[in-house]
Structures are given as C-alpha cells and as structure tokens.
Copies of this chain bind each other. A is one copy, B any other.
C-alpha cells in the first residue's frame, strides 16, 4: 500500500480537502493555533464531531497524585497535568433545525487551510443537510500574537439555493467531556470535571465564566464578545450558567445574503489574583480586542509572522514536501513560544495534552537552538522561565542531598513530576542542557543583562550539581556515574559521553561567567578554588574509547554488551521496543532509542575527530531504532557531517514529516515540537553545517543530491546573516550594524570571513567524502523514504 499524502505539498500552507473521521485528532493537532500563551486545537467550530477537544493555557494545570505500588525516597508525590480549559471556539450552527454535524448529511466540499504567513486557520464548507438544505460556511480563526490573551473567530454562513432559517450558538463551555485516556502512558491522564464554577455572567453580546481548579487552586476567566453582521432581522439571546455561556443568534437568510459572526475570546488565569481582578483583566483584554477589530487583528498577526519569517525562513529548492514541512515545523515552534513569556514550552506546545502537557529537556536541546537563532526573544523568555524555577531546583537538590540545583525532568510549573526515576531523576543531563542553552543564548545575542541576572545563577548552580555528582577517578579523569543519558533504552550507567561532555561545557561556561560577573558570583558564595575545580574537572572529563572496535563508548562498557536482536524484533513486529520488551531487557543490551553519542558529536563537536565521528556514526546508527522522535534530526545532522547526504535527507524527512504524515501514530495527542524544531537543525546544522561552539560561528555547507538551493537566515547579535547554498557554491550575506566574523569550512578549506553590513561573500564547497559505507539501520527500522507522490513512509 502506498500511502497518500494527507496534505498537498504547498510552500506556505497546509491544506486539507477531505475529512478522515478516524483521523480527526491528528488533523486537530496539525491545525492547532497558539501564541504560546493560549493554545486551541483545530476542532471544528461546531464542536462536534471531534477527536480531542482542546483549549489550553500555558502553565494552567491540575495536580494529581502519583501512585507507587512500591515507593522510594525522593519520589515526587504529585504530578501536574495540563487542563482542557473553557472552550471559546464553539459556534454551533442549526440549519432549518438541523444541527450542522459533518457526520450527517452530505459534505459537498470541505477545505481547511493553515496559513503559515497569515497565522490563520481558514475553512470553507458547502454542506447539504439530511433534509436537503444547502449552505456555505466560511470561518477564520486566529490566536493573536499581538494580543496575548485573545483568540478570535469570524464565522460566515450563507445559503446556496433557498432561504434557510439559521441559528448560531456561540459558546463558552467548561468541563467538556473528553474521550477516555488510552493505556498509552504518554497520553495525558484525563481529569474529569476539574473546573469548579466560581462566577458566570452575561450581558449584551458578552458572556463570562470564572472557574477554579480543585487541586491546584488556579483561577481561570474566559470572556467572549461578538459582532454580528447580517442584512436581515436577527434575534439574539445571551445566557450564562456555571459551565456555559451562550449567545444565540437566529435569522432567515435569503440566497445571496449572509450572516457574519465575529467572536472575540479573552482568557486570563492566576494563582494569586482575586476573582474580581481576574474578571477585570479579561474584560480589559476583550475590549482592547474588540476595539482593535477583526481586520486590524489580522494585520497585526501578519506583521508578527512577517517579522519572524524575515529572519527565520529556510527556502528549499528541492522536495516540496520538505519545504512545506520545515516551514510547518518552524511555524509551530514559533506558535509554541512566541508569547510563552516566562512559562514553559511543553513538548507538545499547546497543541494537545500528550505527556500531560509537560516540558522536558527537548526544549533546551532542540527547540531553543532554533529560537535562539531566529526568535531570540522567545528563547530568552523560555530560559527566564527556567530561571524562575531555580529555587525549586535548589530545593529539589537539597532534598536529594545534592549541592546546587537539580532541574526537573518533566514539569509544568517547575516541580519534578517524573514518576519513574531511572528515566527521570537519573537523567541529570537536563541540567547541562539548560545551562548550555543559557550560555548559547548569551553568545548569540550578547544580552548582558540576561547574562548577569539569569545566566550567572543558572550556570553556577548547575555547575555545583556536577561537582557533587562527579568525582576524580584513580585514572585522573573526572567521572559521573549512575546517570541516564538521552538514550532511554540505556539507563543508570556510568560516564555517559553526552552527559559528561555537556557537563564539562556547563562547568566551563560557569567558570567563564564567574570571571565576567565576579560580584554576582560572590553573592552566590563562589570562591576561586571552586572555579578552579570546575575548570579542572571540565578539562579532565572522562570519555571512553573502545580501541578494539575503534569507536567511543556511549557509556563505560557500552560496546562490550550484547547487541539487541533486531532481526527478531523486525520479524515479530516488535517496534517501538518499549511497548514490546521490558526495560530490563532493553537496558542490558546494545540498543539505542535515540541519538545519544551521536547527539554528543553534534553539541560537543570538538571532542571528536572527523574519523571518530565517521566510525562512531556508522556504529551507533546501526543500533539506533529511533523510537523517540528526538532521533532523526540528530542522525541527519551527523550523517551530513560525515558525508552520508542521502541518509541525512531521509532523516530530515523523518523529522520534518513526523506530524504531517503522522509517522509515530500519535500526532493525535499533540505535535512533536522538538522534532519539528529538529528538522530546522537537520537543515541548518546538517546541510548548512552550522556549529556554534567555537569562537566564531562555523558553517560547512553542503546540499543533498537533486537539491538546487537552500537559503536560510540567522539572527546573530544585532545582525542578520543569510546563507544561500547552491551546488558547489555558498553565499554569505550580512545585514546589521556590526561586522560578523564566521568560519567557512569545506573539504580542504577552513577560513575566517568577516562580513560588514550589506556585504556578500561567495565561496566554493564540495561534499564531504564519507569514510565508511552508508550505515545499515537496525532491521525493521529503515529511515523514511518519500514515495513518488510525496508521502513519507517508514518501512
């Protein structure tokens, strides 16, 4: 069976023309809108049918107990779960008394378009009711980038042949019934009836609901206001009750006329403010939006996106699917972060309730590299959120008898919510990921206020953690034992290469900021001796090389272990392995869930020679089953670096198309924001060859076969760098007040280029000659291939 692509490959939009009622939830994730503060899934305006109704507010969560049949010291007692809040999307339509429900009657035509430049979800529908009445519906929906609290919808109904009676019910609905959670632990626990009604009100065309969560005691306000445009006479009625506010608009529409409802919805929530204060806040936001008006909201929306794309866009003259998917991914990464403003960027953004709405290391390791280089304000905000949780991280460290700070593996508000410590507490690398992302932001932006106020404490406290966790071995090296690296099929091991190398960077960066900010460091009790220890430990970090096999060990002893029987797993349909084999079996053998040593080769590029990279990649690629969505992009980056450009292109496709083609069969729960951001890494760090660890930005441009051109922008300091790669040639162009020096590398070339404002420099490149044959992937896990019609398929 050759799969059909769900969405035609169009450069700036994602378009659906048919409805697959079995895949509603996937499309709802794809068509989700968000500004990082509010997130609304692409549910149909009419509410029904839906796969998973979803409206989310960043960091608005309920607590739930974490049960343990056998508990242990330091296990978190309660978790946090993102809540489906009051739904303001709902506009139910009755046509001659028949509710518009797409499962009934006839869909004459249907189209939904996610417009990546306008920041809109557009919909057109022609529907014939079971009674034979035909109508057209057009709707547009936005979640405003310019007005953080606002979602708005324009909904237009018109008759096709005959006069029809039309009734619209525009609603705010709290405590929507949700489908039961599946047995899959990755699907968020459903919390029924989580919102306790506090107040409700309705007047003129405005309705208002205020609720409080029962456990976390957060207040939530939602308010709506409407403009109605209709030539004929219209009856209106507004009512509110605890869980429902509803504006009813009834009219008769002659052919050629239409009813247009513009709905503005404002959200607010707080852990501290009072109900009246919160009510005033959403009323104010609502009035501002109404005064702005629909057209200006659209204009503001486009402005925000123009600004983003101007610096961020990656143009690809190659496979159209990849062009579309990479923009789709960047769009969603921007949506997840643009107005998150010192709150977390969850693994699924605000597109679904998967992973309980938690944020992981994914953000710092995969999303922030993209944002730092393209939307630095959003990156800063995400890191300010981590800084805001530093006291919680210090507390967690104290509780575990550690020094410094221990950031949570998974959380919404900052408290550790991981209930399985071998893949939670033990995954200490999250601390280095945060620290290194913090240092990276400072290096790219030169934001010294941020460095002083946020980077200094984060770097110092994480460095202290590493000094507590590590020790000097008899071999003179600095070791960190008993941790879990990125590869979750190998846990609680010694000297994980990625963890060690990132910890070393963390220590080094911490030492650097102490030198630059001695006063702030002194406030944290830093002594020179402490910093000397950091530098010494960083310089002596343990990294294990298996001389016999000629490869580095992902952890001490890794390559000595038995290799997983991939043939058997392939034969038995045993992927993903975590749902077919116990951790016990996975941990004890050589089998890699996701890039780990390969990830280390990306982010600690100088710790490996080109030859080591080539052999390491060949060895580990053959062991990596990519059961995590955080795999393919990194495999792509290193595949490109070691010269396997076709393989890199396949891995790029696997990352970029993960949600559009639902490669992991779980897009229903929300999009894979980190994997989508990773597609940008595959392009820019993979084919662009971008590395940012050295003194200067390094670029090692290449292009896969059959690609005619790739161009991408980077925001560096106050400038914009544009990189345009065509076969054999690369052009670097700078816009910005200060000159920029970059390092151009290609086969036989390693050159520093200094560009001034408006300057363009052209250089030649040639492809890296691979030192190994193209690696074989584990049996049953070939990378995706793009079929002739553009659909990605995984095997």
| Residues of chain A from 159 to 173 with CB closer than 8 A to chain B in the complex | none
Shortest CB-to-CB span from A191 to chain B, Å, is: 14
Contacts of A588 in B (CB 8 A): 481-483, 492, 494
Check A587–B69 contact: CB distance below 8 A: no
* A277 sits at the interface (CB 8 A): no
* A561 sits at the interface (CB 8 A): yes
* A491 sits at the interface (CB 8 A): yes
A53-82 interface mask toward B, CB cutoff 8 Å, 1 = contact, 0 = none? Answer: 000000000000011111111100001000
Contacts of A111 in B (CB 8 A): none
Check B560–A473 contact: CB distance below 8 A: yes
Contacts of A299 in B (CB 8 A): none
* A471 sits at the interface (CB 8 A): yes
Contacts of A70 in B (CB 8 A): 185, 418-420
Bound-state CA distance A492–B68 (Å) is 20
* A694 sits at the interface (CB 8 A): no
A558-574 interface mask toward B, CB cutoff 8 Å, 1 = contact, 0 = none? Answer: 00111000000000000
A482-B587, A585-B401 known; A73 vs B580 contact (CB < 8 Å): yes
Task: Kindly identify which residue among B68, B418, B419, B471 contacts A562, using a CB–CB cutoff of 8 Å.
Answer: B471
Check B481–A582 contact: CB distance below 8 A: no
Check B562–A481 contact: CB distance below 8 A: yes
Shortest CB-to-CB span from A6 to chain B, Å, is: 30
Shortest CB-to-CB span from A494 to chain B, Å, is: 6
Contacts of A421 in B (CB 8 A): 582-584
Contacts of A471 in B (CB 8 A): 562
Shortest CB-to-CB span from A684 to chain B, Å, is: 34
A757-782 interface mask toward B, CB cutoff 8 Å, 1 = contact, 0 = none? Answer: 00000000000000000000000000
Shortest CB-to-CB span from A484 to chain B, Å, is: 9
Contacts of A473 in B (CB 8 A): 560
Bound-state CA distance A68–B69 (Å) is 7
Q: How big is chain A's contact interface, by range?
A: 35 or more
Check A400–B582 contact: CB distance below 8 A: yes
| Residues of chain A from 391 to 411 with CB closer than 8 A to chain B in the complex | 400-402
Check A582–B73 contact: CB distance below 8 A: yes
| Residues of chain A from 468 to 522 with CB closer than 8 A to chain B in the complex | 471, 473-474, 479, 481-483, 491-492, 494
* A422 sits at the interface (CB 8 A): yes
Task: Kindly identify which residue among B426, B481, B561 contacts A481, using a CB–CB cutoff of 8 Å.
Answer: B561
Check A400–B74 contact: CB distance below 8 A: no
Task: Kindly identify which residue among B71, B562, B581 contacts A401, using a CB–CB cutoff of 8 Å.
Answer: B581
A473-B560, A492-B491, A557-B556 known; A68 vs B419 contact (CB < 8 Å): yes
* A271 sits at the interface (CB 8 A): no
* A578 sits at the interface (CB 8 A): yes
A494-B561, A557-B556, A561-B494 known; A79 vs B69 contact (CB < 8 Å): yes
* A425 sits at the interface (CB 8 A): yes
Shortest CB-to-CB span from A582 to chain B, Å, is: 4
* A548 sits at the interface (CB 8 A): yes
* A589 sits at the interface (CB 8 A): yes
Bound-state CA distance A400–B578 (Å) is 12
Contacts of A556 in B (CB 8 A): 557
Contacts of A589 in B (CB 8 A): 481-482
Contacts of A580 in B (CB 8 A): 73, 401
Check B72–A426 contact: CB distance below 8 A: no
| Residues of chain A from 575 to 606 with CB closer than 8 A to chain B in the complex | 578-585, 587-589
Shortest CB-to-CB span from A628 to chain B, Å, is: 15
Bound-state CA distance A70–B68 (Å) is 9
Bound-state CA distance A579–B474 (Å) is 31
Check A73–B583 contact: CB distance below 8 A: yes
CB nearest neighbor in B for A562? B471
Bound-state CA distance A226–B262 (Å) is 87
Check B494–A492 contact: CB distance below 8 A: no
CB nearest neighbor in B for A483? B588
CB nearest neighbor in B for A186? B70
Residue in A70, A418, A425, A561 whose Cβ sees the most chain B Cβ within 10 Å: A70
Bound-state CA distance A587–B421 (Å) is 12
Contacts of A74 in B (CB 8 A): 581-582, 584
| Residues of chain A from 177 to 231 with CB closer than 8 A to chain B in the complex | 185
Check A185–B71 contact: CB distance below 8 A: yes
Contacts of A583 in B (CB 8 A): 72-73, 421
CB nearest neighbor in B for A71? B185
Task: Kindly identify which residue among B69, B400, B587 contacts A584, using a CB–CB cutoff of 8 Å.
Answer: B400
CB nearest neighbor in B for A423? B70
Bound-state CA distance A479–B483 (Å) is 22
Contacts of A562 in B (CB 8 A): 471, 479, 481
Residue in A69, A73, A418, A562 whose Cβ sees the most chain B Cβ within 10 Å: A69
Shortest CB-to-CB span from A565 to chain B, Å, is: 9
CB nearest neighbor in B for A480? B588
Bound-state CA distance A560–B481 (Å) is 10
A481-B589, A482-B587 known; A422 vs B422 contact (CB < 8 Å): yes
Bound-state CA distance A420–B419 (Å) is 12
Bound-state CA distance A68–B185 (Å) is 10
CB nearest neighbor in B for A583? B72
Contacts of A481 in B (CB 8 A): 561-562, 588-589
Contacts of A494 in B (CB 8 A): 557, 560-561, 588
A693-722 interface mask toward B, CB cutoff 8 Å, 1 = contact, 0 = none? Answer: 000000000000000000000000000000
A471-B562, A557-B494 known; A584 vs B426 contact (CB < 8 Å): yes
Selected A-B contacts with CB under 8 Å, 12 pairs? A67-B69, A72-B185, A72-B420, A74-B582, A401-B580, A471-B562, A479-B560, A481-B561, A482-B561, A494-B557, A494-B588, A557-B557
On A, residues with C-beta under 8 Å from B are: 66-74, 79, 185, 400-402, 418-422, 425-426, 471, 473-474, 479, 481-483, 491-492, 494, 548, 556-557, 560-562, 578-585, 587-589
Beyond the given A70-B185, A402-B585, please list 9 additional residue pairs across the A-B interface where CB-CB is below 8 A: A68-B419, A69-B79, A73-B582, A400-B584, A401-B585, A471-B562, A482-B587, A492-B584, A556-B557
User: Closest 4 CB pairs between A and B?
Assistant: A482-B588, A69-B419, A67-B67, A74-B582
